[in-house]
């Protein structure tokens, strides 16, 4: 049975060069073969995540009319509230049974900061945002070393922090959904890497190279990391952007809310995503070059 690897990420910061290289090899192999990994000892406090989860629950428990006052309406900002079924990650299926609130680095200057109900007003949200940024940069360093690139190759192309912290709520399913409707449709992520923090309800599945769906179970105090579309383009499919989804549980969990927090790591908008020379040894470039900002905007337009 194919399983998502669990990696002790603290060894990457070890003074022992052998331990550090072992982690680099593990991450390289996992991103190449599966596109998903669990990281243990990743450096983000479980208590901080619990604070963020509490703020998330408080927001989603608000009346709909208050949440809708913060609706994301500017396609260039990718910030604010996204209502249930507004997002359609699988274009061939009904809208997703989830709601979300997107927070960006510039959200303190965004309209949502004017509302007392905005999660972006809470300091723990931005503390968590910065902790995720730091962790993502360290993971990007490991990916660069795995590709035999300078350690700062990716981090120097992520300096603008065009990342999105997304609070997610999947409400209880009170009645039968539309045919084919699930909590999050089959999709791949758009950026370079994603960090995902889950509650205990679960439901995430990933698609193997053979086309089979396998569960990504909840493992306490770990973060799930997956490589996205732009990393796949950069590396000519050496690192894969794996399809994944969130299904509706077939047991009592269907009556419970599911909460998760995703951190979508995205390169600077003006970064040209072109196939790396070291990734062309086996196959010619699969994709033409594209600017990171242009790719993100095209995917957002298609999703909403």
Predicted local distance difference test score (pLDDT) of residue 111: 43
Place of tokens 């359609």: 88
Report pLDDT for 117: 82
Q: pLDDT by residue (tens digit) across 240-270?
A: 999 999 988 888 888 899 999 999 999 999 9
182-204 b/e (C-beta count within 10 Å ≥ 16 → b): bbbbbbbbbbbbbbbbbbebbbb
Q: What is the mean pLDDT of the chain?
A: 91
Give residue-wise pLDDT tens across range 114-170. Answer: 577 888 888 899 999 999 999 999 999 999 999 999 999 999 999 999 999 999 999
Of all residues in the chain, the percent with pLDDT exceeding 70 is 93
Give residue-wise pLDDT tens across range 283-300: 899 999 999 999 988 888
CA distance 285 to 256: 45
Return d(Cα 68, Cα 94) in angstroms, integer: 21
Mean pLDDT value of segment 269-283: 93
pLDDT score recorded for residue 110: 54
Going by C-beta distance under 8 Å and a sequence separation of 6 or more, which residues neighbour residue 122? Answer: 55
- Looking at domain 6-303, its CATH superfamily turns out to be B-lactam Antibiotic, Isopenicillin N Synthase; Chain (2.60.120.330)
Q: Say what the pTM is.
A: 0.94
* Cβ-count burial 26-52 (b if 16+ within 10 Å, e if not): bbbebbeebbbbbbeebebeeeebebb
Q: Where are the domains of the chain?
A: 6-303
What burial letters (b/e) apply to 56-81, b meaning 16+ CB within 10 Å? beebbeeeeeebebbebeeeebbbbb
């Amino acid at each position: 049975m194919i399983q998502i690897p669990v990696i002790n990420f603290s060894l990457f910061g070890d003074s022992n060069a052998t331990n550090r290289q072992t982690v680099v090899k593990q991450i390289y192999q996992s991103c190449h073969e599966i596109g998903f990994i669990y990281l243990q000892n990743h450096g983000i406090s479980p208590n901080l995540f619990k604070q963020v989860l509490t703020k998330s629950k408080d927001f989603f428990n608000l009346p709909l009319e208050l949440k809708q006052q913060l609706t994301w309406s500017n396609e260039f900002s990718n910030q604010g509230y996204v209502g249930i079924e507004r997002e359609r990650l699988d274009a061939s299926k009904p809208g997703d049974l989830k709601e979300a609130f997107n927070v960006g680095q510039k959200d303190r200057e965004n309209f949502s900061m004017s509302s007392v109900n905005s999660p972006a007003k809470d300091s723990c949200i931005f503390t968590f945002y910065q902790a995720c940024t730091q962790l993502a940069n360290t993971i990007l360093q490991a990916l660069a070393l795995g590709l035999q690139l300078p350690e700062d190759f990716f981090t120097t192309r992520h300096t603008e922090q065009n990342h999105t912290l997304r609070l997610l709520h999947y409400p209880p399913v009170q009645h039968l959904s539309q045919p084919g409707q699930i909590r999050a449709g089959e999709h791949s992520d758009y950026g370079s890497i994603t960090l995902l923090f889950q509650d205990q309800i679960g439901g995430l599945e990933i698609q193997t190279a053979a086309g089979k769906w396998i569960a990504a179970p909840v493992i306490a105090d770990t973060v799930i990391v997956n490589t996205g579309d732009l990393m796949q383009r950069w590396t000519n499919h050496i690192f894969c952007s794996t399809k994944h989804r969130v299904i509706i549980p077939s047991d009592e969990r269907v009556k419970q809310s599911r909460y998760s927090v995703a951190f979508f790591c995205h390169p600077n908008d003006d970064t040209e995503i072109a196939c790396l020379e070291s990734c062309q040894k086996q196959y010619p470039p699969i994709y033409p070059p594209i600017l990171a900002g242009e790719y993100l905007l095209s995917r957002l337009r298609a999703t909403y």
